Structure 1
Amino acid sequence: MKLLNEFKLGNLTLKNRVIMAPLTRNRSTKDRIPSQLNITYYSQRASAGMIITESTAVSENGVGYIYAPGIYTEAQVAGWKTLISEVHKKESVIFNQLFHVGRISHPDFLEGKQPVAPSSITPQGQVYTYEGYKDYVEPKTLENNEISQIINDFKVAAKNAKEAGFDGIEIHAANGYLINQFIDDVSNTRTDKYGGSIENRSRFLFEIINAVSTIWSPENIGVRLSPSGVFNSVGDSNSKQTYQYIIEKLNGYNLGYLHLMNPMMPIDEYPEMVANVAEYYGKFYNGNLIVNGGFSKESGNGILENGKADMVAYGRLFIANPDLPERFSLDATLNEPDHETFYGGDERGYTDYPFLNLN
């Protein structure tokens, strides 16, 4: 089964092509330091060829979720270092997914300050704070000098990730967070060098890639995109052209991989968007491709066998099955995930899913 074969990713060797997708679980400390519970959780799932961590804030101004980790303080770096050591003991590779939430936040997280965004457009919905659900607020339009500071925040976070011992980093440019807010014209109405044309709207992403490439070799950097994503009130009126441009330009960077997400929500009312992103966008990319979103063992192996992708990332299946590759290998029954415990809480639904009993 190709899914369980080794894979050479730049200077790294993955023991299989089953990737643990980045999964926000809201169980770090309030200071955004990985907890002992986090260490156990990731260590349990080191059967993956590669783990991509949950979204990790690059600065205190980039946070938007309760009990979610960061990588901008010495204590956070130390917490990750312990976690990474346990994952490496089990011969798995681990990348740190770096992000800034942009407007998907609230003044409660930001010492009363407005969240920031490419344009002052309020997203729909509510954010869960330490005091409960609150409506999103109108974000502040970023000035160019503030954009430069955020790019530097990514660079510093990349340096911190290297110090912590990660094998690489993934730039989170999907799911309606700050980079995605710049890319899509629904959320970006700027008229300066960061707005208007596709080239301008994607400039922020490529400037971040250039910045972190001074810290990491390109083969240790991944980028995650959601070309058919409308989560967190984003979307692009010409998404096919926009994301084809970005993906083709990424070919010039010799990155470790491109990570494409299938849509998380119905896209029937968005005729420009495609349901199978690997099938449509994979032909524009020459490097290693990870696909994510709704794959089973059979469909995941199938997309590898037909050459449409190189690795498959699993989210919910890894939540409920810490030994997922072994279960795939033995064609064993899979545990069902408990949706009620996905976000926040204690060990229930986090570290207490049973492993296979082979006795």
Structure 2
Amino acid sequence: MNRLFEPTTAGQIALSNRVVMAPLTRNRAPNAVPTPLMATYYEQRASAGLLITEATAITHQGQGYADVPGLYAPEQIEGWKRVTAAVHAAGGKIVTQLWHVGRVSHTELQPGGGAPVAPSAIAAKTKTVLIKDGVPTFVDTSVPRALEAGELPGIVEDYRKAALAAIEAGFDGVEIHAANGYLIDQFLKTGSNHRTDAYGGSIENRARLLLEVVKAVTDAIGAARTGIRLSPVTPANDVVDADPQPLFTYVLRELARFDLAYVHFIEGATGGPREIPDRPFDYAALREAYRAAGGRAAWMVNNGYDATLAQTALDKGADLVAFGKTYIANPDLVARLKQGGPFNAPDKTTFYGGGAKGYTDYPTLATQA
């Protein structure tokens, strides 16, 4: 049997197969509150071994896009309870992705209309989403302010509280979002971190916030319910590091001290090429360094995978394979992968914002028969 469909575990989370639904921002949570429609959306996809929710803000300050969900208010926790209950009733497992966007935000989305926060006051040359006259609209991000060192313990505490809220909401665990040019990734990489204090300069200093967050979250809910997402070389959200191989080798060796559920890697450019000519990276060497340091977490790969590529990755040492955009239009993706298709094409006009159209109305193999 194709190993993609074998049961496995990620920490203490038992999975029915090795197919993972990757986080997919869909902008369908007005006022940051998960809706019953979101419960339907995730329930439809519960045949995946593991569902990872769309990125979910740990605080109002962590919000960077209109109508994305949060996990910092009672009504948000109640909304997520409907989602997790629906997924569990369908036999699935689900974790939430804990998110602080850092500089990838806009003053209209921030508390009191303030500036977004970042390791350094460097604007991200990227876009975010606001709702204008009921329509999702892409706009430039706002110039951020640099966080003071004294603010960072509070942000670490926000991650801890959000992790506890996730367990209260019924999630099987959490994924710390440390990828794609958001706050933790901004601290990691030289292009966005120009600090000269204990959180800038050396690799050890730039990785400090990430490791503090991991310790806080794992102390709160257990390492076996905690995953982390990393993207060593993606150019997403205008983030770059001058020398990513030693940076991420250090990070993974340090993460080996925590008995995490999984480590989740975006290989290459997020939603783009798996190989970036001017940003070579050796993921196999990284995995070897992690295992040599005693790291035992399930190794999750992500970016443009199909069934054939997934099997190759598993044969080469991966444990889990995450599928992103394919899951938007194929709620029963596991069944379709097993039989080699057919695969529905996604309606890109409905990716961000809206209602059921392009969200919960894609047919399954059963309804297409």
Tell me if both proteins adopt one fold, taking TM over 0.5 as the criterion: yes
SS of 1:357's partner is helix
The aligned counterpart of 2:4 is 3
Q: What letter corresponds to residue 128 of structure 1 in structure 2?
A: V
The aligned counterpart of 2:360 is 351
TM-score normalised over the length of structure 2? 0.93
Contact 1:125 1:135 survives alignment (8 Å):
yes
Residue of 140, 143, 162 corresponding to 2:145: 140
Q: By how many angstroms is 1:214 displaced?
A: 1.9
SS of 1:129's partner is strand
Q: Partners in 2 of 1:63 and 1:206 — Cα distance?
A: 22
Contact 2:104 2:126 survives alignment (8 Å):
no
Q: Partners in 2 of 1:316 and 1:258 — Cα distance?
A: 20
Contact 1:289 1:310 survives alignment (8 Å):
yes
Q: Partners in 1 of 2:82 and 2:232 — Cα distance?
A: 35
1:319 partnered with 2:328: yes
Q: Partners in 2 of 1:34 and 1:143 — Cα distance?
A: 32
The worse-fitting range, judged by mean Cα deviation, of 239-248 and 165-174 is 239-248
1:240 partnered with 2:215: no
1:102-117 counterparts in 2 under 5 A?
102-110=102-110, 111-117=112-118
1:3-22 counterparts in 2 under 5 A?
3-22=4-23
Q: By how many angstroms is 1:249 displaced?
A: 1.4
Q: What letter corresponds to residue 16 of structure 2 in structure 1?
A: K
Q: By how many angstroms is 1:133 displaced?
A: 3.8
SS of 1:70's partner is coil
1:341 partnered with 2:350: yes
Q: Partners in 2 of 1:12 and 1:117 — Cα distance?
A: 33
TM-score normalised over the length of structure 1? 0.95
Q: By how many angstroms is 1:270 displaced?
A: 6.3
Q: Partners in 2 of 1:270 and 1:188 — Cα distance?
A: 24
Q: Partners in 2 of 1:269 and 1:317 — Cα distance?
A: 22
SS of 1:138's partner is coil
- Which digits, 9 at most, give the CA deviation of each residue in 1:187-218, with x for residues without a partner? 00000000000000000000001111121110
The aligned counterpart of 1:78 is 78
Distance 1:269 1:5, change over 3 A: closer
Residue of 177, 196, 205 corresponding to 2:201: 196
The aligned counterpart of 2:127 is 126
Q: By how many angstroms is 1:280 displaced?
A: 4.4
Q: Partners in 1 of 2:90 and 2:140 — Cα distance?
A: 43
Q: By how many angstroms is 1:272 displaced?
A: 4.2
Q: Partners in 2 of 1:113 and 1:59 — Cα distance?
A: 14
SS of 2:143's partner is coil
Contact 2:36 2:82 survives alignment (8 Å):
no
Q: Give the unaligned 5+ runs of structure 2.
A: none
Q: Alignment length, in residue pairs?
A: 355
Q: By how many angstroms is 1:37 displaced?
A: 1.3
Contact 2:12 2:261 survives alignment (8 Å):
no
Q: Partners in 2 of 1:207 and 1:273 — Cα distance?
A: 28
Q: By how many angstroms is 1:267 displaced?
A: 8.8
Q: Partners in 2 of 1:183 and 1:196 — Cα distance?
A: 10
Q: Partners in 2 of 1:95 and 1:357 — Cα distance?
A: 27
Q: Partners in 2 of 1:241 and 1:270 — Cα distance?
A: 18
1:1-359 counterparts in 2 under 5 A?
1-29=2-30, 31-110=31-110, 111-131=112-132, 132-262=137-267, 263-264=269-270, 265=272, 271-274=278-281, 278-286=283-291, 287=296, 288-307=298-317, 309-357=318-366
Q: By how many angstroms is 1:137 displaced?
A: 2.3
Q: By how many angstroms is 1:129 displaced?
A: 1.6
Q: Partners in 2 of 1:108 and 1:238 — Cα distance?
A: 35
Q: Partners in 2 of 1:267 and 1:300 — Cα distance?
A: 13
Q: What letter corresponds to residue 91 of structure 1 in structure 2?
A: G
Q: By how many angstroms is 1:148 displaced?
A: 1.1
Q: Quick one: percent identity of the two aligned structures?
A: 43
- Which digits, 9 at most, give the CA deviation of each residue in 1:158-193, with x for residues without a partner? 110011111000000000000000000000000000
Q: By how many angstroms is 1:269 displaced?
A: 7.5
Q: What letter corresponds to residue 63 of structure 1 in structure 2?
A: Q
SS of 2:163's partner is helix
Q: Partners in 2 of 1:176 and 1:270 — Cα distance?
A: 19
Q: Partners in 2 of 1:217 and 1:267 — Cα distance?
A: 32
Q: By how many angstroms is 1:334 displaced?
A: 1.1
SS of 1:27's partner is coil
CA-based RMSD of the aligned residues comes to 1.6
- Which digits, 9 at most, give the CA deviation of each residue in 1:294-344, with x for residues without a partner? 00011111211232x000000111111100111122223111122221111
SS of 1:55's partner is strand
Q: Give the unaligned 5+ runs of structure 1.
A: none
Q: Partners in 2 of 1:331 and 1:105 — Cα distance?
A: 40
Q: Partners in 2 of 1:283 and 1:60 — Cα distance?
A: 38
Q: By how many angstroms is 1:10 displaced?
A: 2.3
